[in-house]
Amino acid sequence: MNSGIFLINKDKGLSSNKAIQKIKRRLDIKKIGHFGTLDPLAEGLLVCGINKGTKLSERFLNLDKSYFSKIMLGIQTTTDDSEGSVIEEKKIQVSEEEIIEMIKTFVGESKQKAPFFSALKYKGKPLYKHAREGKLIEKEPRDIKIYKILNIVVENAFVSFEISCSKGTYIRSIARDLGDKLGCGGHLVELVRLSQGKFELKDAKKVDDVQMSDLINMEDLSL
């Protein structure tokens, strides 16, 4: 029985669970799991454990990650991304330079409040399920670290950049908090995971293209 990991390039609109279930059925794999959820809105690198490789979950979840992200300022949503309902719209009354400088303040250690719509659990149930029932559960802020933010581009209401961060960081929360700090609101409209630890998106295969020959075997893994 082959064991190890696949590097998957998940498409936008596909849930992480559906992505791995498609692989499981197509390649007739006994056991499969992913190491870090990507929302349906997000795309990019999804690391999956196969058979005994699923036991590596905790080690992978602790690895740092990097993303390309795009935020729209001026609109706040219920989910802090474009899949939610609009809560409020405001004019953007700050300059491009002020936006760039504010983004840079996120670099370093801080405490971050998770979105109300997230997979974190309260009383054994994900927060997003509570939120869908109209119960907005606020978890204690968590310690995170942003290592660097690069290639910041401001185009009208949109801000894009690449970000490297510690485990547990929600980019949707950064979109929300950036909008709050600028006084205009904001939400995430695009997210691409570029790396997880030493593993990179450029080496990943699409769900429909991955083959057993793409498996990185357990003995070849070094985290």
Residue 39 designated active-site: yes
User: What's the full length of the chain, in residues?
Assistant: 223
Q: Render the burial of 78-113: b for 16+ CB within 10 Å, e for the rest.
A: bbbbbbbeeeeeeebeeeeeebeebbeebeeebebe
Residue 200 CB neighbour total at 10 angstroms: 14
Alpha-carbon dihedral angle through residues 145, 147, 150, 155, given to the nearest 10 degrees: 10
Listed residue (51, 61, 91, 69) closest to 152, CA to CA: 69
CA 218 to chain centroid: 25
Residues 65/169, Cβ–Cβ less than 8 Å: yes
Catalytic residue among 39, 80, 81, 177: 39
- Cβ pair 38, 196 in contact under 8 A: no
User: Chain-centre distance of CA 205, in angstroms?
Assistant: 18
Which positions are catalytic? 39
